[in-house]
Structure 1
Amino acid sequence: MKKILTSILMIAFALCLGGCDLPWQKQTAETTEKPQTIESSEVKGSMKGMKLKVGVSNEMAPFSFYDEDKKELRGFDIDILKSISDYLGFEYETQAMPMREIEKKIKNKELDFAIAGISITDARQEEFDFTDSYYDNTISMAVNKNSGIEDRKDIQGKIIGVEEETSNAQYVEDYMKEDNTVKYYSSMKEVFKDLEAGKIDVTLYDTTGVDYYLQNHKKTNVTALSEKLNSEQSNYGIMFAKGYKYLDQFNVALQVLNTDGEYQEIKDRWIGVSD
């Protein structure tokens, strides 16, 4: 897995925890730059009084989605957002939209940041700033059970459906488009609907999202292949416009969530997988 380098070290945590890394971060010999030192005491409540606009997804279970009444957003990302807000002290307004709109609005400074299961890809890092990764992820291949696809080698001459303007769509365009027909959708809800109906043969989607779909659709025509793809470009980060002033504060908040156990509680609540 490609290492997402931690940009901050909190002295207080280093003294009491011996330099403990977040669960998604591992030190390697490639770490050559001395990280910026920032005290957690300087950060807590440092954004009090700010009101921020936050881009989220509304159809990305279990990370960010509406409840059954479609009145309230819930999920892993939503709880992480609330915890960061509580620690840093800012208020926020969520705006649910597709990924293509999120990127556009952040560039135009219509959103302050986005937390929407956004993969930290090389291409995105050229245009946006990201926090350290807060969730390790891979890509799964979900197929219609009647498609005849048993492994990746069988995906030739097939119809692939993907959500547009996502890292999964980019992977298809880079590695799978030449031998297949690609259909683009505005949401994964539409993708899974057509996959169930056999209108497409396969989709690429984040592994946690595929697992959640299968767990909550017992009578389904969809199954997942065992092979996983592209782990180096799939880890999630919070996304900002280039040069965002408070990036280090967000990284400290993520570190605090990990060291005090709150991150694991949120993860267990929505994903149910302990490290």
Structure 2
Amino acid sequence: MKKILASIMMGSLIFCLSACNMPWQKKDTQKEVKREVIQADKVQGTMKDMTLKVGVSNDMAPFSYYDKEQKKIVGFDIDLLDKISDYLGFEYKLYPLSMKQIEQKIKNKEINLAIAGISITDERQRDYSFTDIYYETYLQIVVNKNADITDRKDIKNMTIGVVEGTSSEEYAKEYLAEDGNKIKVYKTAEEVFENLEADKIEATIYDAPGIQSYMNTHKDTTNLEVLDEQLNSEESNYGIMFAKGYKYLDQFNVALQVLNNDGSYQKIKEQWIKTKE
């Protein structure tokens, strides 16, 4: 993928789209760099009258999940998508899918894009296009207190549960499928945490915001604890995913930058990403 360093002009304001001090940045995968100048007011509303099919998760709090009380999918990603659609002018329909389904349906062009806390891994970048990073995070290990695990090195001859098709599964299979450990794959994060609480598995790996959301929600009942070590930070960063060479990728990057500069992004982040309680 070719990295694009784009300057956006808004009236007399000029700011860069990549390689700046902001909550997202495009990953370098080639040495060649192309510089573009993008005028933001010429991007706004350019996707009017379009209706996009958007893949989301119904199981990745706080980014994209089904809220039983509201009876709809909500989260950080949904609010961010709302703001992007307002700026670019498109309508959208949500399609709750697993990560494997998202990848296949984007390849088949059955959906236009996906925003579901999707990590920008090297492997995915070979087959898909991504926006600049919109959220930086990392993986952590969660354990059942009965397993007597205080450090990653204690995980031997144990069962580790992971969600299918995620960077957590990739990490566990590459780095923890040794020392007699078994990697057990589940369809949803809900299943993983249920089995971990029930002491049917000893540990899981998951994205830090999702872990914190679970721990805050279940703080009075949980038998789980989170290890301090931060894992695999680079390949856990989130981007919006499209088919390779998506025509409107630059428009989405401009919209993300505008939302960062006008404070909308920070408001969404403060609403959905809770610190430890």
TM-score where L is the length of structure 1 = 0.92
For residue 253 of structure 1, what is the aligned residue in structure 2? Answer: 255
For residue 128 of structure 2, what is the aligned residue in structure 1? Answer: 128
Higher-strand-fraction structure: 2
For residue 270 of structure 2, what is the aligned residue in structure 1? Answer: 268
Q: Structure 1, residues 34-83: CA drift from partner, whole Å, max 9, x if none?
A: 42211101110000000110000001110011222362111100000110
For residue 68 of structure 1, what is the aligned residue in structure 2? Answer: 68
Matched, 1:80 2:63: no
Kindly provide the amino acid, as one letter, of the partner of residue 169 in structure 1.
E
Q: Is the 8 A contact 1:142 1:223 kept in 2?
A: yes
Kindly provide the amino acid, as one letter, of the partner of residue 46 in structure 1.
T
Q: Is the 8 A contact 2:127 2:244 kept in 1?
A: yes
CA distance in 1, matches of 2:197, 2:236: 25
Kindly provide the amino acid, as one letter, of the partner of residue 271 in structure 1.
I
For structure 2, the 5+ residue unaligned runs are none
**1:145-160 correspondence to structure 2 within 5 Å:** 145-160=145-160
Q: Structure 1, residues 195-253: CA drift from partner, whole Å, max 9, x if none?
A: 00000000000001001100110210111000010001110000000010000000000
Kindly provide the amino acid, as one letter, of the partner of residue 239 in structure 1.
M
CA distance in 1, matches of 2:26, 2:109: 33
For residue 186 of structure 1, what is the aligned residue in structure 2? Answer: 187
Kindly provide the amino acid, as one letter, of the partner of residue 188 in structure 2.
S
How far has the Cα of 1:17 moved from its partner? 5.8
For residue 203 of structure 1, what is the aligned residue in structure 2? Answer: 204
CA distance in 2, matches of 1:62, 1:165: 18
Kindly provide the amino acid, as one letter, of the partner of residue 182 in structure 2.
T
CA distance in 2, matches of 1:27, 1:13: 28
**1:164-175 correspondence to structure 2 within 5 Å:** 164-175=164-175
CA distance in 2, matches of 1:174, 1:13: 49
Kindly provide the amino acid, as one letter, of the partner of residue 8 in structure 1.
A
How far has the Cα of 1:9 moved from its partner? 2.0
CA distance in 2, matches of 1:157, 1:11: 57
- Quickly say closer, same or farther: Cα 1:83–1:18, change in 2 above 3 A: closer
Q: Is the 8 A contact 1:7 1:132 kept in 2?
A: no
CA distance in 2, matches of 1:26, 1:168: 21
| SS of residue matched to 2:237 | coil
Aligned length: 269
For structure 1, the 5+ residue unaligned runs are none
CA distance in 1, matches of 2:25, 2:110: 31
How far has the Cα of 1:25 moved from its partner? 4.0
How far has the Cα of 1:157 moved from its partner? 1.1
| SS of residue matched to 1:226 | coil
**1:11-50 correspondence to structure 2 within 5 Å:** 11-12=9-10, 15=13, 21-25=21-25, 33-50=33-50
| SS of residue matched to 2:239 | coil
How far has the Cα of 1:165 moved from its partner? 1.1
CA distance in 1, matches of 2:70, 2:50: 27
Q: Is the 8 A contact 1:8 1:251 kept in 2?
A: no
State the identity %.
55
| SS of residue matched to 1:227 | coil
- Quickly say closer, same or farther: Cα 1:44–1:263, change in 2 above 3 A: same
- Quickly say closer, same or farther: Cα 1:27–1:182, change in 2 above 3 A: closer
- Quickly say closer, same or farther: Cα 1:16–1:95, change in 2 above 3 A: same
CA distance in 1, matches of 2:182, 2:195: 14
* Residue in structure 2 matching 1:8, options 2, 6, 15: 6
**1:90-105 correspondence to structure 2 within 5 Å:** 90-105=90-105
